[in-house]
Chains A and B, each alone.
Chain A
C-alpha cells in the first residue's frame, strides 16, 4: 500500500470498514477462513480483512464483486439526499446540515472504497481463467474486469481524485446544474 492510498483510506475510513464488513459476511457464507480481523491498525493492514482463498470461482467472484455492489448502492442512497441537500439546494439549519454532512462523508467514503485489493482482483481473474466453466467465464468476466480496473484506479487514488473533481464541479456549476435540472424535469406545476 502506497502513501496516497493509506491517507485516502484513513480519510475515508467508514467506507473501508463497511467494505470489510461485507467481505467478512460473505466469507462466513462461503466458509472461507478469515485469518485477520483487526481493522483499526495503523499499518499496512488498516481496515483490511485477511482471509484465505475462496473455494470456488463463484465464491471468489462474490467476495470480490458483491461488496463493491453493496458499497455503491449504499453510497447512491446516501448521496441522493446529501448531495441535493448540501450542494444543490444548500439546506440551512443545523439538523439538516449536520445529517447531510455526515451522510455525505459516508457516501463519499463508500464510493472511493468499492473494489477489492489488486491481489484479490488478480486472483479472481486467475481463478476464472483456470477453473471457470464457459458459462462462468461469459457471465463473470465483465464483473471481474470491472473489479480489476476499479481496483487499479482505486489503489492509485484515481477514484478519489475523480470524486473530488466531481464535487468541485458540482460546487462551481451548482447554478447551471440547478437550471438544467429545472429545464429537463417535466413541468412540475400543478
Chain B
C-alpha cells in the first residue's frame, strides 16, 4: 500500500529538489505537538488570511454593519467563512500566547535566539492590533463601542489628533480606514512572520533540555545532518497539524452559532453572532464589552482613571519585560528552577492576565478599590514566590525533611491568614484583631526564616524507563492504525458528499462549517496515523 506513496514521494522530491531545502532537519523526539506550537499559529494565520481574502470580496467598508449582515444572510456560506475567520483570529491569539509562554518557560529567548524572540513579541502585538481592527469591522454596537474605547485611550494619552487617522469616520458606520489598517497590520504580520520563520529554521527548533541543558541550545552541523529531512516527514506531520487546526477553527464557531442561553459573561468568549446595529433601539440594552482578548485591558481601566497608567500596566510594562528578558536573564541556564526570577515574573503575568480577563468578563466597568486590588493581586505572587523558593532544581542532593510542596502550602496559608488578619486590623483596630494579627505575624516571620518549617527536597530520582520494543505489539498497532485510516477516509467521503445537501444561506448553513470542520479533523487524524505507520512504527520495527 505504501510503496505507491513512496513512489509519489520520490517523484515530487526529485522534481521540486526538496532535499536541498534549507529547512531544519528534525530529530525523532520532536514529532510532538508541543514542538510545533509555532506551526499551529502559522496554520491559524493562513486560515485567517484565506478566509479574510474571501470576505474582502464582499465586505463593503463604507457600510460596515449592513455589509456584515448581508455577508451572514445572503452570501452563500458567508456566515461560515465570517465566523471561522473570527475564530481563526481567536485560535491564533490563544496559540500565540501558548507558543510564547511555552518558549518563555523553556528559556528559548536565550542565546542565540534573542532576535527571534523579540520578533515573536512584535508579532503578538501586531496580531492583537490586527484582531482589534478586524473585530471593529463588524460594525455592530460592540465594535463601535470598542473603537470608542480605543479612541478614548488614544485621546487620553494626549494623542487625540491620531484618531481620525487611525479609525476614520467609524461612528457614522464607515470602516474604510479601519479595513485599510486591518490589512496593513496583517501584511506586517506576514512580513515579520517570514523573518521569524527563517530565523527559527536557521537555529532549529529548541532542543530538549535533556539533550542541550544550557544555552546556546543548538545542534551542531554533524548532529543536525543525521536527523530527518524536511521532506517528506515534516511535511506530512505539519499537514496533519494544519488540517486539525483548520478543522477546529471551522467546526467550533459554526457549532457555537447554534448555541444560546448561556450567561451573558460568556458572551465575549462564545458568541460568534454580531450584536445589534449601533443605531438600532436594541443597542440600548446591550452591555458594552470588548473582545475577550482585551477584557484584561478593559478591566485595568477600572483600576485607575489615568489612561497613561492603564496603558503602562496593561501593555507597556509587560511588553518591555518580554522584549528585555533576553538581556536580563543572561545566564546559560535553561532549567526553570535555575532562573526563578524570570519564571516567577512570567507566572505572575500569566496569572494576572487570566484573573483580569475573568474579572473583566464578570464585572465589566465596575470600579475596583485599592483594597480589592490588594486582595486579588497579592496572593498569586506570594504563592508563586514561595512555590519557586521551595522547589529545588533537579540534581540537588536530597535531604530528609518535610516535603517542599507541603511546606510551601502551609507557608502560603499562613501568609494569607496573616494578610487577612492584618487588613482586618488596619481597618478595625481592636484588641481582638490585634490578638489575631500578632501571633500570626510571629508565625509568619518564623516560617519565613525557616525556623518552623524545615522544608527540604525529597529524592528526585525517577526510575529510568527502559524501552524494549515488542515487534508484535507494533504490528498490531500498525494494523489498527491502517483500519482507522480507512474508516476515517470513508467517513470523510460520506461527509463531503453530505456537504452539498446543506443550504448555502439561512439557519442551516452553518452546518456546512461543522461538516467541513469535521472532515478536516478526520483528515488531520488520518494523516497523523499515516505518519505513525510510516515513520514512527516503521522506524521502531527497523531498529528492533
Q: Do A and B come from one complex?
A: no
A: residues with CB less than 8 A from B are none
